Structure 1
């Protein structure tokens, strides 16, 4: 039997939300698990092995102060979003349009679609597919998670959300906060997404190419200088694009290696597993925007090209 952590709450029946998580990997599983523990109706939509394990045993959530199995629904079909008040879109950025098209026929009128993804333009891409009749809001995710096995999500740190202001986002944020998910509404989510993008651009590609965790890679010869060049290029593109990035981005970048020294980037994990990464929506996005705005980004371009080269070796024969 799971050991229920202190602080878990059950919302009043009138406040209970139905929540669908589209693309429920480690991030979607983590947030879906917390919301299910708080009493909301949650369905995780994911890969067959993951779904089968959840159907048999529930979702195992391994976190600080809690390690147990959480009963909830799981499905491999996009139609499981039917009737959901909130849809958490957690697919890879490469699959954004395809996932939006899959859920479109099944979305309830008035459903809120939150994009919990890397990159800065997923909400715009989803909105283009769903059209003006459906509410879409971007969310910035700050969490470190992994999936040790099917139906098993491990939480390594943080867990906050920043959500764009929209008609339904305030109520969603209130319910998320009550479920133990620190959630903030912001009028500058684009800037917050860019702040996260800069961090990802600084770490993800280097972690992927070297297959090293953050705390180790920053100690490599010349790496700190290269990361500063990446950050400077990103900030130049953001400025040219009219983006106001909040906070001290350089300090945030430095702090990641200290707060998550053993973490491998999602790009590193994808490359290690032979899966397509999101590099086109990280350094590759900066390359495209830099070209459009006539801002040179040679270091981002080099990192993007190197990760694409590593990815191209999938399935090739080593001489």
Structure 2
């Protein structure tokens, strides 16, 4: 969308995606259009050189390694926006990049999936919440002009936690069943289970001093109405036999719960089940 609005955009990714984008542009398929958007694409991290803004979109498990790879090519003052799941990626990236390269967390509310090389399927929503920096207002205005609703918030940590709780409620369940959100909440016992997950997350968030919206529970339960056909990112990772971000979702709640002495048995159960599901079968001992 930024490229369509006239911004110079370069994508950095894996070979198959890069080749597809170079040949025909990035394919963006939504409920209302199916288009190819021409833009630059590279497999080399050095392509980040000269960027004013970097949209840092790697999995939470790759935050430190990806930050270390791009660091030599970032000019001082380059704004790095972490568009990732989890709540501490900005702090982890900043620890690697150093004080000369500002890092701001971004909360991403969008349902998408990669349908093939260079092919993005969009299922719903698309708004961003950015932490304040000297450049955040300018960036938010540019995003908004490109059709991306963007808000600058002084409580982005609370927004990150709100999304974390949504992810904790749905990601593991969608992954373990390989079913979308709409189907999940139609099954008996699922909504009370989601309430148990929320209760644990809220208790940990309170212990961590996080300022959360009053009607967060309603927001969590309302998600399937806006994204009924969405498979969670964790489900997509499991289906592709890729490592998941579960350690940075339910696992993070378990970790912070232990630090505060807050029990999190439901989140821990989901954590262990997804970890088992992603364990390579070759690791299973023979009998």
Asked if TM exceeds 0.5, the reply is yes
- 1:215, distance to aligned residue in structure 2 (A): 1.2
How big is the shift at 1:132? 0.7
CA 1:315–1:58: 2 relative to 1, 3 Å: farther
Aligned-pair distance for 1:316?
Answer: 5.7
Shift of 1:69: 1.1
Structure 1 residue 220 displacement after superposition: 2.3
- Partners in 2 of 1:260 and 1:130 — Cα distance? 35
After TM superposition, give the deviation of residue 43 of structure 1 in Å: 0.3
Aligned pairs, how many? 286
Do structure 1's residue 274 and structure 2's residue 241 form an aligned pair? yes
8 Å CA contact 1:274–1:314 kept in 2: the answer is no
Residue 83 of structure 2 aligns with which residue?
A: 116
State the Cα distance separating 1:314 from its structure 2 match: 4.5
In structure 2, the residue corresponding to 1:157 is in which secondary structure? Answer: strand
Kindly state the Cα deviation for residue 247 of structure 1 after the two structures are TM-superposed.
4.5
Of 234, 245, 253, 2:201 maps to 234
Change (3 A) 1:141 1:247: farther
Partner of 2:103: 136
Which segment is superposed worse, 55-64 or 128-137?
55-64
Instruction: Give 2:114's match in structure 1, choosing from 147, 154, 158.
Output: 147
Mapped pair 1:193 → 2:177: no
Q: CA deviation at 1:216?
A: 1.2
State TM-score, norm by structure 1.
0.87
Which 5+ residue runs of structure 2 have no aligned equivalent? none
Aligned CA-pair RMSD: 1.4
> How do 1:56-67 residues align onto structure 2 when only pairs under 5 Å count?
56-67=23-34
Structure 1 runs, 4 residues or longer, greater than 2 Å off: 63-66, 313-319
Does the residue aligned with 1:167 lie in a helix, a strand or coil? Answer: coil
**1:162 aligns to 2:95 (yes or no):** no
Q: Distance in 2 between matches of 1:69 and 1:237?
A: 44
The counterpart of 2:222, out of the listed 255, 266, 271, is 255
Q: Give 3-state SS (helix, strand or coil) of 1:35's partner.
A: coil
* CA positional deviation for 1:61: 1.2
Classify the secondary structure of the residue corresponding to 1:138.
strand
Residues 123 and 229 in structure 2, CA contact (< 8 A), matched pair in contact too: no
**What is the correspondence of 1:1-319 to structure 2 with a 5 Å cutoff?**
34-315=1-282
TM-score normalised by length of structure 2: 0.97
